[in-house]
Structure 1
């Protein structure tokens, strides 16, 4: 227990505690417990899932209606939006299939229909329907790679030893944020140069101008259950971290930036969804 507390303290030493201006979070009045919200580019919708990535749900951020899209277990991870905000993508497996056999489905909000598309589900998290280049973890080497979907050419991005995960492509497609243990690194998409250590935590979203990453850092006193979690803002250019929430009873996680620096995030303690505005 003391070791875990000491580790958390060490991680927080590099965090500047003066918070950015963060408006008082507004609770989204939805029934049920949800997590991992990902807002559409136009800010009109958000994708949600439930505990253990159970199911995919579509939240209308104007009416607060929640529409169940798929009830299957374990599929609420890695879903992503088309750049037009009218289509989103998620993975789904058959009842007797393994997750490695998952197929990618495209859902049209206008038509209210889902159809299978020809895309490896491992490439899904950085796919927006229009980009030719996607980033992903090689499941065998645990390094981050990029693939050109048009030419099928694949190349290595990370060059250091480690087990990398959760690659997040920048909006301009020139850089990628990756994770290696508790560390967040940013690499050039073409694999040139060395990676840059940005901070520690879990990054979940780039700002529209690609100058910042937003994410969170959770804590555990027993090494198993979460005892707290706060939202962090990472200044990519200066490699500085700022803590932008500080609460005892809320476990803020999975923040997603959209619109004019608006943030949607989940409270893992209550299963509620909140929105706020961040002044960068």
Structure 2
């Protein structure tokens, strides 16, 4: 396996960015930060913007095939109780689309099927 040369493309004082994923059209780089809270975007001009600051949304997120948004698992906390749902965040700043209800069970992760459809997969014992 050939390793790609790594280069630093974004930085912000005191922050560590992780889990980069390039958009299907190559115009954006989506990534998260330590703790997987929020999703940030780096555009072609090397400007960083915040797509969402939802807790846990940076873990396991997937670009929509057309690059118009990102599907991710989002967490909501009520005291110590955590509930998760799958949300689509639009790059155009439109409202988010919640694809699943809140659940305290093992969270779903967005995945693509071979036919290109977004599917919600969850572990079953």
Give the TM-score taking structure 2 as reference length: 0.71
Deviations 1:14-73 (A, max 9, x none): xxxxx6374x4332033232001111111111221111212221221x111111222233
Q: Which residue of 1 aligns with 2:49?
A: 67
Aligned-residue CA RMSD (Å): 2.8
CA contact 1:103–1:116 (8 Å) conserved in 2: no
Larger strand share, 1 or 2: 1
**Aligned match for 2:116, one of 128, 131, 145:** 131
Q: How far does the alpha carbon of each residue in 1:138-191 deviate from its partner, in whole angstroms, 9 at most, with x for none?
A: 2x42xxxxxxxxxxxxxxxxxxxxxxxxxxxxxxxxxxxxxxxxxxxxxxxxxx
Q: Which residue matches 2:84?
A: 102
Q: 1:113 to 1:77 in 2, by over 3 A?
A: same
Structure 2 unaligned runs (5+)?
102-106
2:98 matched residue in structure 1:
117
Does 1 or 2 have the higher relative contact order (CA < 8 Å, sep 6+)? 1
* 2:38 partner SS: strand
Larger-Rg structure: 1
Normalised by the length of structure 1, the TM-score is 0.36
SS at match of 2:76: coil
Structure 1 portions without partners, runs of 5+: 1-18, 142-280
Q: How does 1:249-264 map to 2 (within 5 A)?
A: none
Q: Runs (4+) of structure 1 moved beyond 4 Å?
A: none
Kept in 2, the 8 Å contact 1:58–1:66? The answer is yes
Question: In the aligned structure 2, how far is the partner of 1:58 from the partner of 1:91?
Answer: 17
Counterpart residue number, 1:76? 58
The DSSP-based 3-state class of the residue aligned with 2:66 is coil
Q: State the match for 1:44 in structure 2.
A: 27
1:225-263 CA-to-partner distances (Å, cap 9, x unmatched) read xxxxxxxxxxxxxxxxxxxxxxxxxxxxxxxxxxxxxxx
